[in-house]
Amino acid sequence: MTLYHYNRSPRLQGAVPLSSCANVAPMKSFLSHLECGLCGKTEDAGHLANLCPSCERPLLARYDLKAAKRTIRREEITRREPTLWRYAELLPVLAPEYRLSLGEGWTPLLRAHRLGKIVGASRLFIKEEGLNPTKSFKARGLSLAVAKAAELGAGALSVPSAGNAAGAMSAYAALAGLPAFVFMPRDVPPLFIAECRAFGATVTLVDGLITDCGKLAAEGVRDEGRFDVSTLKEPYRLEGKKTLGYELAEQFGWTLPDVVIYPTGGGTGLVGMWKAFDEMEELGWIGSERPRMVSVQSTGCAPMVRAFERGDEFAEPWEGGRTVADGLRVPAAVGDFLILRALRESGGTALAVSDEEMLDGVRLMARSEGVFGAPEGGATVAALRELLKTGAVDPGEQIVLFNTGAGVKYWHLFENEDRAGNS
Ligand SMILES: *Cc1c(COP(=O)(O)O)cnc(C)c1O
């Protein structure tokens, strides 16, 4: 057995992975600067930053990939610790003692034979993100965002969230020893509130929608100097999520699948993967081939699907978004143009499925593969069925479904399962 001793917090100076891995090189980050994803304006990466000061759109982390290419060999990466920190050179945290880890990332890529047979796809895979700390892939983004905020000297963190982002932020803030402030709609499932409080976060319940939570959170940011870690409103959650792309390539033997089906809210994972593919090509780790990227949303909140179908560059906000999949209840995404760009450049598409179809997808994945996923994960099953039906995806293609969270966190949706007439 291999034992890993992860870097725990800035106060545990000098903690290093005590693994049997041959490679204990210092893994210096090649972060160079920030660049606006829309207007291209560059920013210094040495201070806390939110959106682009000129156009208020997301700032993206840029690396000296030429230098990285000379230094890192992909064969070396495969011997490293089984967390997303195996890609430390291509992540923004500079000082190793700030690499906050609860064991996030490096999740299994499961071959889904039985589910594939049922839906008619012979090379189907599930990326099982429900195994992450706090049981959703939000851990990837928040591990990086909190670590980098701590490194840059943030005094307190704040996030408006209806679910998994708040829990993940609270966990990593606890690990960093930073106060966490969470703003949630009063009607979020009690488990999500309890989780944040267990981690010691200050939770404010708001009568209203996530947008109202955002307004209240913004007051604390302005008046108390808290740092806002909302998705794509700071540059580094994206860097955590991009490791999904690095892992896909590594797990497929430095090739990429034909189709990626991704449940899209703010789009961080999809945009992150697309960024990772470009970085890996520059590093010489993969070629120019790309998967077709597919965004799945809920019929109750589908701003990206609508914008994709209209051919728009930006997505109009969705009025009165409703869905049981909290991760998909994002009426307006600040990175909308980046999502739409990735879908189009990849030759992919966007489609919406109903909440009922999502929950059926959860049941089917659970019964056929032993993976009890989040409704967002179930949405990818429903989307795949539709894409096979319309011929947008061929039965023999290599397809990856993203199960982005664990079904146990959505107990409220499944508590009457025995009464639902399921045999
Ligand atoms: C947040 C979330 C999503 C959406 O992720 P984005 O990268 O913001 O699009 C999907 N599934 C789950 C379980 C989530 O918590």
CATH number at residue 399: 3.40.50.1100
The residues facing 352 across adjacent strands are 297
Half-sphere exposure of 379 (CA within 13 A, CB side): 33
User: What does the alpha-carbon distance between residue 423 and residue 420 come to, in Å, rounded to a whole number?
Assistant: 9
In this structure, the answer to whether residues 86 and 221 fall within a common structural domain is no
What separation in Å is there between the alpha carbon of 69 and the centre of ligand 1? 31
Q: Is the pLDDT of residue 23 over 80?
A: no
What separation in Å is there between the alpha carbon of 55 and the centre of ligand 1? 25
The answer to whether position 423 is within a domain reads: no
Which tokens is 4 given?
Answer: 């890993």
What separation in Å is there between the alpha carbon of 82 and the centre of ligand 1? 22
Q: Are 74 and 56 in contact (CB under 8 A)?
A: no
Q: Is the pLDDT of residue 328 over 70?
A: yes
Which tokens is 232 given?
Answer: 């794509």
| Contacts with 60 (C-beta within 8 Å, 6 or more apart), sequence order | 34, 35, 36, 37, 235, 238, 275
- Ligand 1 close to Cβ of residue 265 (< 6 A): yes
Half-sphere exposure of 69 (CA within 13 A, CB side): 11
Q: How high is the pLDDT of residue 4?
A: 42
- Give the mean pLDDT of 293-301: 98
The answer to whether position 422 is within a domain reads: no
**Among 94, 46, 90, 99, CA closest to 68:** 90
- Ligand 1 close to Cβ of residue 161 (< 6 A): no
Phi, psi of 61 (to 5 degrees): -80, 135
What separation in Å is there between the alpha carbon of 337 and the centre of ligand 1? 17
Q: Determine the 3-state secondary structure of 259 from DSSP.
A: strand
Most trustworthy range by pLDDT among 221-225, 242-246, 326-330: 242-246
Longest dimension (CA), the chain: 60
Q: Is the pLDDT of residue 121 over 60?
A: yes
Residue 105 pLDDT level (bands cut at 50, 70, 90): very high
The answer to whether position 418 is within a domain reads: no
Q: Is the pLDDT of residue 16 over 50?
A: no
What separation in Å is there between the alpha carbon of 218 and the centre of ligand 1? 22
What separation in angstroms does the CA of 234 have from each of 14, 157, 213?
Answer: 27, 12, 18
- Ligand 1 close to Cβ of residue 323 (< 6 A): no
Domain edge (last residue) among 43, 69, 98? 98
Q: Are 68 and 285 in contact (CB under 8 A)?
A: no
In this structure, the answer to whether residues 400 and 251 fall within a common structural domain is yes
Q: pTM for the full model?
A: 0.93
Q: Are 140 and 241 in contact (CB under 8 A)?
A: yes
In this structure, the answer to whether residues 142 and 19 fall within a common structural domain is no
CA-closest residue to ligand 1 atom 10: 327
In this structure, the answer to whether residues 343 and 355 fall within a common structural domain is yes
Q: Are 272 and 299 in contact (CB under 8 A)?
A: no
What angle do the packed helices 375-390 and 355-369 form, to 10 degrees?
100
Residue 333 Cα: closest atom of ligand 1: 8
201-210 pLDDT tens trace: 999 999 988 8
Domain edge (last residue) among 228, 257, 277? 228
**Among 133, 70, 128, 138, CA closest to 282:** 70
Q: Are 263 and 296 in contact (CB under 8 A)?
A: yes
Q: How high is the pLDDT of residue 22?
A: 41
In this structure, the answer to whether residues 387 and 401 fall within a common structural domain is yes
- Ligand 1 close to Cβ of residue 264 (< 6 A): yes
Specify the DSSP element, H or E, that contains 228. strand 227-228
Q: Are 50 and 233 in contact (CB under 8 A)?
A: yes
CA torsion 163-295-391-255 (nearest 10°) is -100
- Ligand 1 close to Cβ of residue 134 (< 6 A): no
Q: Which amino acid is at 76?
A: E
CA-closest residue to ligand 1 atom 1: 327
Q: How high is the pLDDT of residue 25?
A: 52
The answer to whether position 76 is within a domain reads: yes
Domain range for 311 is 109-136+237-413
98 vs 21, higher pLDDT: 98
What separation in Å is there between the alpha carbon of 315 and the centre of ligand 1? 18
Q: Determine the 3-state secondary structure of 339 from DSSP.
A: helix
- Ligand 1 close to Cβ of residue 336 (< 6 A): no
Residue 268 Cα: closest atom of ligand 1: 7
| Contacts with 285 (C-beta within 8 Å, 6 or more apart), sequence order | 74, 249, 254
Specify the DSSP element, H or E, that contains 207. none
User: What does the alpha-carbon distance between residue 335 and residue 138 come to, in Å, rounded to a whole number?
Assistant: 17
Q: How high is the pLDDT of residue 27?
A: 87
Lowest mean pLDDT among 8-12, 67-71, 396-400: 8-12
CA-closest residue to ligand 1 atom 5: 265
- Ligand 1 close to Cβ of residue 263 (< 6 A): yes
Pairing assessment for the beta strands 292-298 and 259-263 based on DSSP bridges? parallel
What average pLDDT does the chain have? 92
Q: Is the pLDDT of residue 422 over 70?
A: no
In this structure, the answer to whether residues 273 and 376 fall within a common structural domain is yes
The answer to whether position 88 is within a domain reads: yes
In this structure, the answer to whether residues 129 and 177 fall within a common structural domain is no
| Contacts with 327 (C-beta within 8 Å, 6 or more apart), sequence order | 136, 163, 164, 263, 265, 374, 376, 404, 405
The answer to whether position 175 is within a domain reads: yes
Residue 231 pLDDT level (bands cut at 50, 70, 90): confident
Q: Which amino acid is at 1?
A: M
Domain edge (last residue) among 73, 98, 123? 98
Overall domain count for the chain: 3
What separation in angstroms does the CA of 159 have from each of 142, 166, 232, 278?
Answer: 11, 7, 12, 29
User: What does the alpha-carbon distance between residue 102 and residue 172 come to, in Å, rounded to a whole number?
Assistant: 8
Which tokens is 350 given?
Answer: 């966007």
What separation in Å is there between the alpha carbon of 330 and the centre of ligand 1? 9
Lowest mean pLDDT among 9-13, 153-157, 388-392, 414-418: 9-13
The answer to whether position 104 is within a domain reads: no
34-58 pLDDT tens trace: 999 999 999 999 999 999 999 999 9
In this structure, the answer to whether residues 390 and 241 fall within a common structural domain is yes
| Helix, strand counts (H, E) of the chain | 14, 13
The answer to whether position 115 is within a domain reads: yes
CA-closest residue to ligand 1 atom 14: 327
- Ligand 1 close to Cβ of residue 376 (< 6 A): yes
Which tokens is 217 given?
Answer: 């959170």
Q: How high is the pLDDT of residue 211?
A: 81
In this structure, the answer to whether residues 207 and 287 fall within a common structural domain is no
Q: How high is the pLDDT of residue 35?
A: 98
In this structure, the answer to whether residues 54 and 201 fall within a common structural domain is no
In this structure, the answer to whether residues 255 and 402 fall within a common structural domain is yes
- Ligand 1 close to Cβ of residue 378 (< 6 A): no
Q: Is the pLDDT of residue 11 over 70?
A: no
In this structure, the answer to whether residues 129 and 142 fall within a common structural domain is no
- Give the mean pLDDT of 9-13: 40
Above pLDDT 90, what percent of the chain?
87
